[in-house]
Structure 1
Amino acid sequence: MPLFLISYDEHPQRDYTECYKLMAEWKAAKVLESLWLAELAGPAEAIRNIVSATFAGSASVAVIQLFPNGDWATAKGYNTGNKWLQTHMNL
């Protein structure tokens, strides 16, 4: 199944409650405050639309497909995200 990086920023209010519920439903791994990793069917456009729908305001959303064996590095990221990267990117 394809691997995706999902990032967002809601403007001007910042209520991420529904987005956090969606990320939990998808079993996404948090890397940074608003940066998640997930193994989803895709395509990226559909994922973007679903994430965008969790916000009441005008949120910026980016969804980028990742590929195994891609280079990556984090600094002070969440352990769950780092473990996800080790499992899914170092194939």
Structure 2
Amino acid sequence: MLRAAGRLPMLALAQRIRGVAALAEGHSEDAFRQLMRIFDRDDSAWFPNYQLLTLGHLSEAAVLGGFQGELRPVVAALEPIAVQSRSPALRV
């Protein structure tokens, strides 16, 4: 069903792994680009279920790489979810 809806959770997982690995190796620009694919509706790696799990790593890569401008719309789109949630992690 996910494949039929155009969602590829395994590709999103692979992007998350690639992004975190790049971040761990100090390649913040590469990490940001890899992780952003999960947040891009036009990308085959777009998968909303991983977005909240990935946001912390994406934010770190954005700050280290100077991509705060590109990060702002992502955070703005997820902010309503965080506001409605009772999870302290999402609010942070």
- TM-score normalised by the shorter chain: which range applies? under 0.3
Greater RCO, CA 8 A, separation 6+ = 1
TM-score (norm 1): 0.27
Which one has the bigger helix percentage? 2
Larger relative strand fraction: 1
